[in-house]
Amino acid sequence: MHLNTTSPMSVDKKDHIINAAMELFAEKGFEGTSIRDIAAKADVNLAMVNYYFGSKEKLFEAMVEQKATFMRGQLEALESDKELTELEKVDRIIEAYVDRFLSNPGFHKVIQQEMLKSQREEMHQKAINIFIKNTQNFNSIIEKGIKKKVFKKVDPPLVFASIIGTINQVLVSKKVCNVFAGKDPCYDPYTDEHFKKRLLTHIKQMIHSHLLNQ
Amino acid sequence: MHLNTTSPMSVDKKDHIINAAMELFAEKGFEGTSIRDIAAKADVNLAMVNYYFGSKEKLFEAMVEQKATFMRGQLEALESDKELTELEKVDRIIEAYVDRFLSNPGFHKVIQQEMLKSQREEMHQKAINIFIKNTQNFNSIIEKGIKKKVFKKVDPPLVFASIIGTINQVLVSKKVCNVFAGKDPCYDPYTDEHFKKRLLTHIKQMIHSHLLNQ
DNA sequence: AATAGTTAATTAAACGTTTGTTTAATTCAA
DNA sequence: TTGAATTAAACAAACGTTTAATTAACTATT
């Protein structure tokens, strides 16, 4: 049995398998992806996947763990920051989410599929809990702004749903994006800085006019 | 071989199988659902599924066909309506989508999963095309409003993405909704008129302040 | 109205694949 | 030489699908 060796070789290989798996999960879903698919894409022997991760499900969990830790913690810091106004905090949150989602479209497609379904109850609940925590975090910022009367009386969790929902909707299909960016269907809008800026501008303008009195 | 009999008995049974399949597809995804699952849920013999539909994939297509025709055509009529202002049309569109999505959460979860993945290329492309058509429809209304200077200069396809994205985000998880509606996790918010009204109010207010000068 | 004939509906069982996983043997590195 | 890494092969289970046999429902004929 393999016991978390620190050999750089095998760590690279594990990462390599995780990346191949993530791409396939995003493209074909968890059940739609076979271990043989993953092994072929990562160009390793079939048995190596179970050797390193124990099972397909544990590989999935390892992949979520690795990609999730990659982007944790930043948002919690924002909430207690005394230097920023509520509006600035909202802008930072929007920027952070747009940046993260567009930089890791595959991962967020996987998570979204996981939240839509309710297979793998443990994983599902974990994703839900992270989302609830983020929403509560956002809510308390909005509510402070409402108390200070710099924000209108809005529905905080639904405002958050609109921000995340807009980005997710863009992630749902590359092809749809390209139609409205005037690009060919194979183009990748997510790495296009111009497209990112366009999305950011839209969300900020929409949320600003929703939040602010004028 | 079965050849589209008009006997009411078998039509009922086909519908019954389709409904069971849709619920399972929404819950577990296409690949995560076996024909044996479907047969068990519909309480019919395993072989009946292939007898009626030919294959699992054709059952899926039949299900999409049936549920999609159920809600086609209404939006196209709106666009050419001369009696309504652009803002009224936008409101009608929002109402129509909220109503449809909340009335058929399972179906829209299935479609969303299908759009996220790119398995079953034909199905995927079909869903994309419908979405593109709806977006173009929406765009032309917004652009008329901009020309008439009743709307601000916004990004029409992204405004549409925000409307649909918000509703989808709500659909993503019943559990998350219930946390913010103060209900227990098993409650069904989608059939709750109060929750529907709340979602409708949020989207309308947000889109209004984004579109209108004041 | 009863019956024979025909087709559709339904069933349990089996088919060949593919699935995730394991084994046992081999190669490689320290 | 020892233990990890890697391999091809095999495993049982689950999968979508098909078969062949049986039951039910309908039609036409008497």
- Determine whether A97 is exposed, middle or buried from the number of CB atoms within 10 Å of its CB (0-12, 13-18, 19+): buried
Instruction: Answer whether B161 sits within 8 Å of A155, measured CB to CB.
Output: no
Confidence label for B68 from pLDDT (cuts 50, 70 and 90): confident
Q: In sequence order, which ranges of B148-192 are alpha helices (DSSP H)?
A: 156-172, 174-181
Residues B180-199, mean pLDDT to the nearest whole number: 90
Domain covering A71-211: architecture: Orthogonal Bundle (1.10)
Instruction: Answer whether B117 sits within 8 Å of A32, measured CB to CB.
Output: yes
- Report yes or no: B19 and B57 within 8 Å, Cβ to Cβ: no
The confidence score (pLDDT) of residue A8 equals 45
Q: How many CB atoms lie within 10 A of CB B38?
A: 24
CATH domain B8-67 topology: Arc Repressor Mutant, subunit A (1.10.10)
Q: Does residue B7 surpass a pLDDT of 60?
A: no
Alpha-carbon dihedral of residues A23, A24, A26, A28, nearest 10 degrees? 160
- Of residues B112, B199, B206, nearest to A172 (C-beta): B112
Render pLDDT for B168-189 as a digit per residue (tens, 0 to 9).
Answer: 999 998 888 888 888 888 898 9
- Report yes or no: A62 and A11 within 8 Å, Cβ to Cβ: no
The confidence score (pLDDT) of residue B142 equals 97
The confidence score (pLDDT) of residue A6 equals 37
The SS3 assignment for A151 reads strand
Confidence label for A123 from pLDDT (cuts 50, 70 and 90): confident
Q: Which residue lies nearest D4, CA-to-C1' measured?
A: A2
- Determine whether B118 is exposed, middle or buried from the number of CB atoms within 10 Å of its CB (0-12, 13-18, 19+): middle
The confidence score (pLDDT) of residue A1 equals 42
By CA distance, what is B179's nearest residue in A? A132
The confidence score (pLDDT) of residue B3 equals 36
- Span CA (A47) to C1' (D11), Å: 14
**CA proximity to A26, closest of A79, A64, A52, A83:** A64
C-alpha distance from residue B92 to each of A207, B100, B105, B212 (Å) = 22, 12, 20, 16
Compute the distance between CA of residue A59 and CA of residue A134 in angstroms, rounded to an integer.
25
Confidence label for B16 from pLDDT (cuts 50, 70 and 90): very high
User: What protein residues sit with their CB closer than 7 Å to strand C?
Assistant: A 33-37, 46-47, 49-50, 54-57; B 2-3, 5, 7, 9-10, 13, 44-48, 51
Render pLDDT for A47-71 as a digit per residue (tens, 0 to 9).
Answer: 999 999 999 999 999 999 998 876 6
- Of residues B29, B115, B155, nearest to A198 (C-beta): B155
**CA proximity to A168, closest of A190, A148, A153, A146:** A190
- Determine whether A71 is exposed, middle or buried from the number of CB atoms within 10 Å of its CB (0-12, 13-18, 19+): middle
Residues B10-16, mean pLDDT to the nearest whole number: 84
Residues B128-143, mean pLDDT to the nearest whole number: 92
Residues B104-117, mean pLDDT to the nearest whole number: 95
Compute the distance between CA of residue B203 and CA of residue B160 in angstroms, rounded to an integer.
11
Compute the distance between CA of residue A97 and CA of residue A111 in angstroms, rounded to an integer.
14
Instruction: Answer whether B158 sits within 8 Å of A109, measured CB to CB.
Output: no
User: In which residue ranges of chain B is CATH 1.10.10.60 found?
Assistant: 8-67
Instruction: Answer whether A116 sits within 8 Å of B128, measured CB to CB.
Output: no
Which positions of strand C lie within 7 Å of protein CB atoms?
8-14, 18-24
Instruction: Answer whether B154 sits within 8 Å of A27, measured CB to CB.
Output: no
Compute the distance between CA of residue B138 and CA of residue B163 in angstroms, rounded to an integer.
11
Q: How many CB atoms lie within 10 A of CB A145?
A: 21
The mean of the pLDDT values for chain B is 90
Render pLDDT for A14-41 as a digit per residue (tens, 0 to 9).
Answer: 999 999 999 999 999 999 999 999 999 9
The confidence score (pLDDT) of residue B5 equals 37
Instruction: Answer whether A131 sits within 8 Å of B180, measured CB to CB.
Output: no
Confidence label for A11 from pLDDT (cuts 50, 70 and 90): low
Q: Does residue A150 surpass a pLDDT of 80?
A: yes
User: What protein residues sit with their CB closer than 7 Å to strand D?
Assistant: A 2-3, 5, 7, 9-10, 13, 44-48, 51; B 7, 9, 33-37, 46-47, 49-50, 54-57
- Determine whether B121 is exposed, middle or buried from the number of CB atoms within 10 Å of its CB (0-12, 13-18, 19+): exposed
Residues A117-142, mean pLDDT to the nearest whole number: 90
By CA distance, what is A124's nearest residue in B? B173
Q: Which residues contact A49 (CB under 8 A, 6 or more apart)?
A: A17, A35, A38, A39, A56, A59
Residues A69-93, mean pLDDT to the nearest whole number: 84
- Span CA (A170) to C1' (D12), Å: 43
Compute the distance between CA of residue B19 and CA of residue B17 in angstroms, rounded to an integer.
5
Q: For residue A22, how far is the Cα from the chain centroid?
A: 13
